[in-house]
Amino acid sequence: MTNEQTPFVDLPAALVEEVMEQTAAVGELLLKTFRKMKNNQDQYRRRLIEKGIIRHESSLGYPPLPTTCGTDGSYAVERLLSADLVAAAAVAVEGLTPPSEKRYWEQPHHISYVKSEVHHPDTATILRALMLGSELLLAEKAPHDLVMIDGTLTMPVIYFNQALNKAPETPELSCAKDFLDNAVNYLKAYLAILNNKRSDRNYVGLPKYSSRREIGKAMGWPVHHDDRGLLTILLEAGEFTKPLPMEQPDQPWHFNTARLAAEIKRAVDEIAEEVIYSLQNLYVFYYKPHDWIPALRCEVAQNLAVNNYRLATVIQGIKHQCACAGMFEPYPLYLADRSVKALARAIPAFRQVTTQQISEKYEGDIGEIFFAMHGYRSESGV
């Protein structure tokens, strides 16, 4: 029996009973919210139509089906007694193609990173930025008409900024050096995706969750109504919302490059200014391809949002990759997500292989190796 099948096995019985009582109260509160949302459904939808927010995919026409791929990444840190075992991976998976279509990739493309690091509290911060950079490199180099990125297009600026701030202070970390060595290439790939100037390449960010409420604020919806949740109910299959400028943060986007070496700082600053400008010109729309899938939040560059042909290419590409009722996201993102999430589960196996290799060559007491390579805690993220 797995932990998922027996979730309460290690909990005290009294604690389980108390939590179950509290969840009943939470359920009643959520039920009231759902009922209120349902009662106002017709009113909300009518106002969206009156303001011209809702459009149908047929209004854009039907361009040729684009070739597609999806990218995702994950990282994991295994805290050992004597060191940290770190791993990161980015994966790009080609979408479904008809039998008559040419496939660009016979196998998924990937970038992997595995190192041993000294114990340090900022390892995960830098490793996460390195993972995102690898994901952007794969996305920018993909030869497909439509590249879907798992996550918001603003996520890299946040994590890159954190890593640019921490990496110069941690020269003892190999991942810090590797990140700084590749930071300019990561930012160039990021800028190409944000600008999206090439008409034969279309990039779209598809975050599963966002706290931004562009539609809700424009329509005056109550703050407890999430855009994606409510639009899943309001939109019918084949409908999408008019692209709107993305909500900007209270504090302006920025990169903290003050601690960087002069040569790297100069190169990063040149690109960072363009990245910040491009982040202010992102657009958002929601699209519901089929009845069986929630509304998808789609983040795109301004160049794409204002071009109906390119917008139609994105929508048709997403629609034909949502071909199965069992998946709540486009096929290539679903497969990429499944692939990279396996990384954290595989870290103990990697550790065991490493332990065996060291044990075979170690001249001392083998017990020392097993103590040193014992895993105490794991950290992971996507």
- Concatenating the DSSP letter of every residue in 133-157 gives HHHHHHHHH--SSEEEESS-TTHHH
304 inside domain: yes
Ordered per-residue pLDDT tens for the chain, 382 residues: 555 667 777 778 888 788 888 887 888 887 887 787 778 888 889 999 999 999 999 999 889 889 999 999 999 888 877 788 888 999 999 998 765 566 777 788 999 998 888 989 999 999 999 999 999 999 999 999 999 999 999 999 999 999 999 999 999 999 999 999 999 999 999 999 999 998 889 999 999 888 899 999 988 888 878 899 899 999 999 999 999 999 999 888 889 888 888 889 999 999 999 999 999 999 999 999 999 999 999 999 999 999 999 999 999 999 999 977 777 899 999 999 888 887 767 766 666 666 666 666 666 666 655 555 555 555 666 6
pLDDT in the model for residue 324? 78
Beta carbons of 57 and 51 less than 8 angstroms apart: no
- pTM equals 0.88
Residue 348's Cβ-count burial label (10 Å; 0-12, 13-18, 19+) is middle
Q: Beta-carbon neighbour count of residue 160 at 10 Å?
A: 26
| Total number of domains constituting the chain | 1
Any idea what the Cα angle at residue 126 is, between residues 125 and 129, rounded to 5°?
95
pLDDT in the model for residue 314? 96
Q: What's the CATH code of the domain at 120?
A: 3.30.2170
**Residue 276: closest CA among 360, 378, 194:** 194
> Quick one: how far is CA 192 from the chain centroid?
18
11 inside domain: no
88 inside domain: yes
**Residue 310: closest CA among 80, 64, 91:** 64
335 inside domain: yes
b vs e for 114-123, b when ≥16 Cβ sit within 10 Å of the residue's Cβ?
Answer: ebebeebebb
pLDDT in the model for residue 4? 60
Beta carbons of 81 and 371 less than 8 angstroms apart: yes
If DSSP codes are grouped into helix, strand and coil, which group holds residue 381? strand
Measured distance between the N- and C-terminal CA atoms of the chain, rounded to whole angstroms: 27
| Sign of the torsion formed by the C-alpha atoms of 270, 275, 276 and 280 | positive
**Residue 43: closest CA among 211, 225, 209, 246:** 225
pLDDT in the model for residue 25? 81
Q: Which residue has the tokens 């209004």?
A: 59
If DSSP codes are grouped into helix, strand and coil, which group holds residue 328? coil
Domain around 276: 55-343
Q: Report the alpha-carbon distance of residue 228 to residue 295 in Å, rounded.
A: 6
319 inside domain: yes
pLDDT in the model for residue 263? 87
**Residue 379: closest CA among 75, 77, 74:** 77
Q: Report the alpha-carbon distance of residue 156 to residue 139 in Å, rounded.
A: 13
13 inside domain: no
324 inside domain: yes
272 inside domain: yes
Helix (H) or strand (E) holding 242: none
Q: Report the alpha-carbon distance of residue 197 to residue 194 in Å, rounded.
A: 9
